[in-house]
Amino acid sequence: MNPETSHDPKRQAPALPPIAMSPRVLLGPGPDMVHPRVTAAMTAPLLGHLDPDFLALMDGTQQLLRYAFRTDNRLSLPISGTGSAGMEAAVASLIEPGDPVLVCINGYFGGRIAEMARRHRGEVETIERPWGEVFGADEVRDALRRRPARVVAIVHAETSTGALQPLQEIAQVVHEAGAILIVDAVTSLGGVPLEVDGWDLDVVYSGTQKCVGAPPGLAPVTIGPRGEAKLSARRTPVDTWYLDLSILQRYWGPERTYHHTAPISLNFALYEALRMIAEEGLEVRWERHLRNAQLLWDGLAELGMSLHVAAGHRLPSLTTVRIPDGVDDAAVRTRLLRDYGIEIGGGLGTLKGRVWRIGLMGYSSRPENVELLLGALRRILRTPEAA
């Protein structure tokens, strides 16, 4: 051993404290809180990703995902990655180089889809609405008449604005034009009505950390017959290997062909969260989210605050409330976290500094959380520190 390097401080093991996180009431845009049953599921003994017991759990997870998506789609699976991985898996797998693509942008995440589509060499055109508004079917029809597309993408529940986009008529317009529809349902799956088969949606992806009620790290995806046909008819390989749905379907299909080491504990959590959705019942769960959102909306109105999205298009799982004039955005959010242990989100993009984003998703969507937040805001906004 070289005496000149054996005691080098840079080579010593760091002495760091154990994990001791303060408890939080997560009422931001995600992640939300998870039920103790979901947390407990993550502590189950690890299995190999091709263990027969885990393979059986994969089958069960797919059945539960079909229930949550309201679909019979064979290709329904969780991508190993966050919601953005689901977005990229859909975009990369369904868009070939040179494909004409139409992306509808009315918030931050529509813009992200367009950026991904460009990087995967789609010929992207966009139509836009002000952040907080939604698209009508005629706008999409007119855009497709001006410039036909093979793929159309739209966000069902725009997390940056709190707007809920109607989809059924738009899906019909897209199909009449001979295109397929990719839908971002990251903040809607499990929290608001989403009818994949009933609305004839082709490709839908989501995330686990919002209304589904599981930790972040998986992205449920479902692909319908048109999406499968376009995937199988590709003339070129998907230009990302890990997120190639044509390969992933063989791991999640009956072949169980090795693809990657799945995050076992996260899949345990997703399975339990989906079981809880099935136990509660989708319609009952949708009603719970709407009921608690209305409680929040009424309480904010009593505080003299206004909501960013018009009443007919508000997303029950994510509310954007306008920050009152003269109120310090960061100061209020800091005090909520420091004094009450409550997390809410700030605005993104054009809404940065203009709105707060309040999430009532999954296990976080409870009346006691609404009352706690409203009481904390009432006290904070009455004090000089908020200005």
Q: Is the pLDDT of residue 288 over 80?
A: yes
Banded model confidence at residue 364, pLDDT cuts 50, 70, 90:
very high
Check which CATH number belongs to the domain holding 123 and give it.
3.40.640.10
Predicted confidence at residue 11, as pLDDT, reads 79
Q: Which of 47-56, 112-121, 288-297, 352-361 has the lowest mean pLDDT?
A: 47-56
168 and 290 in one domain? no
Residue 12 lies in a domain: no
Residue 4 lies in a domain: no
Q: Looking at 262, 278, 294, which one is the last position of a domain?
A: 278
174 and 106 in one domain? yes
202 and 59 in one domain? yes
The token pair at 158 is: 């725009």
Q: What is the pTM of this model?
A: 0.94
Residue 269 lies in a domain: yes
271 and 287 in one domain? no
359 and 211 in one domain? no
Placement of tokens 């997870």 in the chain: 61
Q: Note whether 101 and 124 are within 8 A (CB).
A: yes
Q: Note whether 356 and 320 are within 8 A (CB).
A: yes
Residue 19 lies in a domain: no
Predicted confidence at residue 347, as pLDDT, reads 96
Helix 168-176 with 137-146: angle, nearest 10 deg: 20
Residue with the bigger pLDDT between 167 and 12: it is 167
Q: Looking at 242, 260, 278, which one is the last position of a domain?
A: 278
306 and 157 in one domain? no
201 and 84 in one domain? yes
Closest among 332, 353, 362, 354 to 344, alpha carbons compared: 332
Residue 83 lies in a domain: yes
Share of the chain above pLDDT 70, in %: 96
342 and 287 in one domain? yes
As a whole number of angstroms, the distance between CA 298 and CA 290 comes to 12
Banded model confidence at residue 373, pLDDT cuts 50, 70, 90:
very high
Q: Is the pLDDT of residue 145 over 90?
A: yes
Which residues face 203 on adjacent strands? 182, 223
Residue 2 lies in a domain: no
How far from the centroid of its chain's Cα atoms is residue 354's Cα? 22
Q: What is the pLDDT of residues 182-205, one digit of tens each?
A: 999 999 999 999 999 999 999 999
265 and 308 in one domain? no
Q: Name the DSSP letter for residue 133.
A: B
The token pair at 115 is: 């950026």
Q: What is the pLDDT of residues 146-158, one digit of tens each?
A: 999 999 999 999 9
Closest among 146, 141, 152, 170 to 94, alpha carbons compared: 152
Check which CATH number belongs to the domain holding 364 and give it.
3.90.1150.10
Domain that holds residue 80: 36-278
φ/ψ (deg, to 5) at 40: -65, -35
Q: What is the pLDDT of residues 232-270, one digit of tens each?
A: 999 999 999 999 999 999 999 888 888 899 999 999 999
313 and 267 in one domain? no
Q: Is the pLDDT of residue 338 over 70?
A: yes
Predicted confidence at residue 12, as pLDDT, reads 86
Q: Looking at 230, 255, 278, which one is the last position of a domain?
A: 278
Predicted confidence at residue 384, as pLDDT, reads 62
Report how many domains make up the chain. Answer: 2
Residue 13 lies in a domain: no
262 and 317 in one domain? no
Residue 236 lies in a domain: yes
259 and 224 in one domain? yes
Q: What is the mean pLDDT of residues 332-361?
A: 97
Q: Note whether 151 and 101 are within 8 A (CB).
A: yes
The token pair at 210 is: 């919002």
Q: What is the mean pLDDT of residues 48-64?
A: 94
Q: Is the pLDDT of residue 7 over 90?
A: no
Banded model confidence at residue 14, pLDDT cuts 50, 70, 90:
confident
